[in-house]
Structure 1
């Protein structure tokens, strides 16, 4: 009797497995194809036989990618109606094992984490920007619209305010988002969104702001900032 029950269970499992394999029909004999309901699941077809696969936790599948690895960040892929995902494998800083995620403290808006197989690498947005999980990038606060983040006012904490009269371009038109150098820090500068909303920004390390070109530049190209990083190193030492 026990042998009969065991055989019956084994037969039932075989039927379930066989039905699951038959549930997906390979569109072509060979290739990788998306699951119709789960965005991080796909099928690898070999000689017309489908083998179920999962993307690494946090990534989703896009069969249009012309690479062997067709799993990518969710903000790069439109899953459409494929809304289901595998259960998350999370830890303190990584809601899923892979991806870009906001700081767990909702009031910390300029720090985010790049999670790679569960290891979190901390990143910081350029001054004045907030991290946006929907795009995976740092954007202006009014674009991110993060709850718990304070909107920048008309006056920055260091006292900078946008001038009432916007500077003009060579054609005599008002500059939409004028930039201004920081009075004491060669690496920093200000930008006035629409001429009225001040933001403080900064060049990457090794560069300083060039008021003439309105761009970040090498220190030797900016008068008065040639030794900016040399002086900073001396102060540290």
Structure 2
């Protein structure tokens, strides 16, 4: 089970890393800045003395520059310093290491150890002939035999004396954030040149331009990132803040109902079962049963979920509603002394006192 769980974790992280993140060093400066907060300054990838400053507003342009002779750009200080005092992440980076294909003899979708990882968290996903580098989630390391992320107690990591930076973080200052190109409620952060995935708190998402999480209603996501589906709060009593447990009528349809299970870890059921009564029946909350729709009092649109043309109107047995497309489009009134009979689809002298239309 640990192997299966680890592989699922790998798939999650690798899918999130897909696309522009692993190719960050090869993007145009404009596309780099699209992933970064406004006014971020960085070392231009594959150089030691060129820098980029991202726009500080939507109207501004990317600024680029080069250090004077004898100087290198220090990404954390954000300025040029003496080359002898600077540490350039691209100086001495072997072309052989960059070009080596660790997926050459692997099948598509395989996970292999990343030899450039100094803390055993790194791994490589072989996808469509490309090498996608990623890290195991926090507190986990990559086990090369099982090819999965495991706890540190399950595998002894042979520590390397050489620390290698993550390609997406080599040119970025420490603690710089990058937008997740897939999930708007997540983002990445470079910490000590290693890339970490982060999640925004509930009901918030990552604003690509601002560089931090904001309320979902105010967020400006990265152009390809999507917000998660809203959490189902039907089983949460908003008035009291407590969880609802049991069977409940759908507040949007007379013919549907929910089953709310007991809370887990103090949280209400976010995936309640949503069921439908057979055609012609409504859910009766008092009897916890699906019953003939005419025997159930429902204040919602009675045209929803029926193939009838005319229906009784709640609270008035002489009136009727005309249905079209599963909704009431107009109402009518039977002649004086007549009552609408939904079963026979017409006005009748007999008042059947259907519960559906009784006051």
Normalised by the size of structure 2, how large is the TM-score?
Answer: 0.21
Normalised by the size of structure 1, how large is the TM-score?
Answer: 0.30
Larger strand percent: 2
Pick 1 or 2: higher relative contact order, CA cutoff 8 A, min separation 6. 2
Larger helix percent: 1
Bigger-Rg structure (1/2):
2
